[in-house]
Each structure stands twice: as C-alpha cells, then as structure tokens.
C-alpha cells in the first residue's frame, strides 16, 4: 500500500476539529476503557476464586466483587464506544479495512459480548447469597470470563491488523484468490494482549484498596477482614505487576520489524516508571491509607498510569503508520464544525458531569449509611432535579437543531 492509496481511503469530508483533539481524546478514553475492562476481569476472577471457597472472607469478597463486575461490564462497554469513535475518525483507512477483513468477527464481537454479560447474570441469578451459601456450579461465571476475554481478543486483533497495510492484500486474496468471507482474524500478538489482561491484577489490587477505604468510611467493624483485603490487594499489585512486566518485555522483544523502534523509545521507560510508581505507592503511604482520600488515591494514580500506557500505545501506532507507511494522522483536512465540537464538550462536562455526579453521590451515600433507609439531602435532590432538566434541554436542543437544519 502506497501512502497515496492510504490517503485516498480517508473521508473526503475531513474532520470537524483538529485531529490532535481526537488523538488526545482517544488516548484518554482508551485509558478509561481499559481501566474498566481490567476492573471487570479482575473482579470476575476474584468472584470465581472466592465464591466456592469455604472461607467466609473469600465468600464475602466474592459477593462484593460480583456486584462490581456486573457494573464494570456496562462501564467497559460505554467507555469502549468513546475510543471507537475517535479511532475511526483519524485512522479510518486502517480501522475500516481491518474491520472489513474480519467482518464475521466484528459481528461475532457483539454476540460474544451479549453472551458474556448474560452468563454473568445467570451466575448471579443462581447464586443470590454467596456469603451464606457459596456458589452452585462454576460454569456460568467461567463462560462469562471466557466470552469477555474473546471480545477483548477480537478488539486486540482488529487494532493490530490496522498496523499492517503491507499484508492486507495477502489477507484479502491469499495466493491471489479473493476470500470475501471475513471469517479470519489475521494477526495477533499474545504478549501484547496478555500485557493488557495481566494489568487487571494490579488495577484490581488498587481497586481493592479503594473498596477497603470505603468500608472503613462506612464504619466496618470486622478488622480482620480489612487486614485480609489489604494483604490481598498488595499481593495482586506486586505479583500482577511482575506478570505484566514480563509480558510487556515479551511484547517488546516480539515487535515486528516495522515497530522495533518502539522497544527502545522513551515511551516504554515512561510507561514502566508510571506503573512501578503505582505499585510502590501503597508501601510509601503506609498507615495513611486508612485516612482521608489516600486509600482511593491508589486507584486514581493507577488511572493516571494507564493514561501514560495509553499514550505510549498511541505513539506506537502513530509512529509506525507515519514511519513505515507515510501516513500522518495529524494532517487530516479540518472542516471546523463549532456546533458539534461545543455540543460534545457541553454534553460531556455539563450533562454528563451533573447526571453522573448525582447518580454516584446517591450510590456512595447510600452505601455509607449502615442503619435505616437512606434519604438524599436537599442539595443532592437539587442535583437530581437538574440532571433531569439538563437531559430534557439536551434532547430539545439535539432534535431542535436537527429539525431546523432539515426545514431550512
């Protein structure tokens, strides 16, 4: 594929704001997506490990982790859509070709995702009181984890096929005979996939520190359980961090020739330093973990480290497509559209901020109240009323502008 052919595959309408904006938003939202995916996988694995245990601490943890996993799947899906939008805007020649080459799997992705989510609910419906009774049968939860991993593997493959324009013709017409079925995934790198999956352990360790701090805030009386959770969190961070490091190293040494430059670039050292700093943070904080926001801070620091990892991953893609294929994602023709750009940020910051702020505050405060029914105070109630008003206003503006453009 010559650079001219790749540029010809671009959307001739251009992009509605500077491509750097899409690149940065892509990195930020990918970091959030992968954090949610890692919490989802880690809490699912802890559910599997704990639900069948004879130990009450494990069973109690499994019950809490199953609740987390159910929510994390939906958060991972919602936060997966965002990087999907950005990647297809500035890398459309690559993303769509990769998708068309494996179209069968792109549709299969949705089926596997629905199956994985349903299987998790099947496990939940069959096991209502994990703390008291433990679980009956591993099957549903194991099927759920396997299908969710398959979903991740498909995205991994699509993301990587993008980076090999030199192989597309061979994949589309092996030996000169066209295969339009889209039934094959053509490229994967197991150490790279394993690296992102293994990071689930330290990220879930950081999540457990926050869970523990939350329990302390709610007046948890079982000190032995709190100590046990802390020891488990630390083990997950150290052992999981080491596994991720190993897989990350393997990824670097198995990089194909067009990407080998990346292994010695500063990006790798930056990502490594960020991850190591997060693993060391709980040790540095010591007893402060139980006070203020420090216990939550480890997960916050983990999210920042994932942004650094996401930036490095983006540097690999941008640098490879520019260096080896002459495609510069940042020279996309800009057709500035202020309305859609402003609408995006207002939706994100104002509508999203107020609505999510309300939901999270209610969930948080309800969980922190041990006795009696929870009733939100006047400020929280006002926030809830504003979130409804803003959603109505947003809907009116959205359809109003559409109608105005249509009737004009």
Segment near ligand HEM (CB under 6 A); pick from 82-90, 250-258, 293-301, 319-327: 82-90
148 makes contact with ligand HEM (CB under 6 A): yes
Segment near ligand HEM (CB under 6 A); pick from 50-58, 83-91, 209-217, 226-234: 83-91
Among 76, 130, 141, 206, binds ligand HEM (CB under 6 A): 76
30 makes contact with ligand HEM (CB under 6 A): yes
198 makes contact with ligand HEM (CB under 6 A): no
163 makes contact with ligand HEM (CB under 6 A): no
Among 87, 210, 289, 311, binds ligand HEM (CB under 6 A): 87
Minimum distance between the CB of residue 354 and ligand HEM, rounded to whole angstroms?
A: 24
Segment near ligand HEM (CB under 6 A); pick from 72-80, 179-187, 289-297, 382-390: 72-80
**What SS3 string covers the chain?**
CCHHHHHHCCCCCCECCCHHHHHHHHHHHHHHHHHHHHHHHHHHHHHHHHHCCCCHHHHHHHHHHHHHHHHHHHHHHHHHHHHHHHHHHHCHHHHHHHHHHCHHHHHHHHHHHHHHHHHHHHHHHHCCCHHHHCCCCCHHHHHHHHHHHHHHHHHHHHHHHCCCHHHHHHHHCHHHCCCCCCCCCCCCCHHHHHHHHHCHHHHHHHHHHHHHHHHHHCCCCCHHHHHHHHHHHHHHHHHHHHHHHHHHHHHHHCCCHHHHHHHHCHHHHHHHHHHHHHHHHHHHHHHHHHCCCHHHHHHHHHHHHHHHHHHHHHHHHHHHHHHHHCCCHHHCCECCCHHHHHHHHHHHHHHHHHHHHHHHHHHHHHHHCCCCCCCCCHHHHHHHHHHHHHHHHHHHHHHHHHHHHHHC
Q: Cα–Cα distance between 328 and 3 in angstroms, integer?
A: 9
In this complex, which beta carbon is closest to ligand HEM, that of residue 151 or of residue 311?
Answer: 151
33 makes contact with ligand HEM (CB under 6 A): yes
Minimum distance between the CB of residue 264 and ligand HEM, rounded to whole angstroms?
A: 20
Among 77, 272, 307, 362, binds ligand HEM (CB under 6 A): 77
Among 19, 42, 50, 83, binds ligand HEM (CB under 6 A): 83
Please tell me the count of residues contacting ligand HEM according to CB under 6 A: 24
Among 59, 60, 70, 156, binds ligand HEM (CB under 6 A): 156
355 makes contact with ligand HEM (CB under 6 A): no
Among 90, 141, 151, 185, binds ligand HEM (CB under 6 A): 151
The contact mask relative to ligand HEM for 301-330 (x = CB under 6 A, - = no) is: ------------x-----------------
> Residue numbers of the site for ligand HEM (CB under 6 A)?
30, 33-34, 37, 76-77, 80-81, 83-84, 87, 113, 148-149, 151-152, 155-156, 159-160, 192-193, 196, 313
């Amino acid at each position: 594929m010559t650079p001219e052919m790749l540029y010809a595959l671009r959307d001739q309408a251009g992009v509605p704001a500077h491509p750097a904006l899409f690149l940065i938003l892509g990195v930020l939202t990918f970091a959030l997506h992968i954090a949610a995916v890692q919490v989802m996988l880690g809490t699912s694995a802890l559910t599997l490990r704990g639900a069948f245990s004879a130990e009450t601490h494990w069973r109690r943890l499994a019950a809490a982790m199953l609740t987390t996993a159910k929510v994390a799947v939906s958060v991972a899906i919602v936060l997966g859509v965002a990087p999907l939008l950005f990647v297809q805007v500035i890398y459309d020649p690559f993303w769509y070709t990769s998708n068309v080459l494996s179209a069968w799997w792109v549709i299969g992705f949705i089926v596997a995702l629905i199956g994985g989510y349903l299987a998790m609910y099947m496990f939940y419906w069959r096991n209502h009181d994990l703390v008291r009774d433990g679980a009956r049968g591993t099957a549903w939860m194991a099927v759920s984890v396997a299908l969710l991993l398959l979903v991740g593997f498909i995205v991994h493959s699509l993301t990587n096929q993008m980076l090999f324009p030199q192989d597309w013709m061979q994949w589309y017409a092996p030996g000169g005979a066209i295969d339009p079925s889209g039934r094959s995934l053509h490229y994967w790198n197991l150490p790279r996939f394993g690296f992102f999956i293994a990071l689930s352990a330290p990220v879930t360790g950081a999540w457990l520190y926050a869970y523990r701090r939350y329990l302390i805030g709610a007046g948890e009386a079982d000190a032995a359980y709190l100590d046990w959770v802390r020891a488990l969190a630390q083990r997950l961070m150290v052992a999981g961090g080491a596994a991720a490091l190993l897989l990350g190293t393997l990824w670097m040494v198995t990089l194909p020739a067009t990407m080998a430059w990346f292994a010695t670039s500063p990006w790798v050292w930056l990502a490594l330093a960020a991850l190591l700093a997060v693993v060391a943070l709980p040790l540095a904080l010591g007893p402060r973990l139980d006070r203020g926001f420090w216990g939550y801070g480890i997960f916050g620091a983990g999210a920042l480290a994932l942004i650094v990892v996401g930036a490095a991953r983006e540097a690999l893609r941008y640098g490879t497509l520019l260096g080896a294929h002459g495609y510069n994602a940042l020279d996309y023709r800009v057709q500035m559209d202020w309305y859609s750009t402003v609408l995006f940020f207002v939706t994100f910051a104002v509508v999203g901020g107020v609505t999510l702020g309300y939901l999270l505050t209610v969930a948080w405060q309800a969980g922190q109240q041990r006795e009696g029914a929870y009733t939100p105070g006047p400020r929280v109630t006002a926030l809830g009323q504003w979130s409804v008003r803003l959603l109505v206003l947003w809907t009116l503006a959205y359809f109003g502008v559409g109608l105005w453009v249509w009737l004009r």
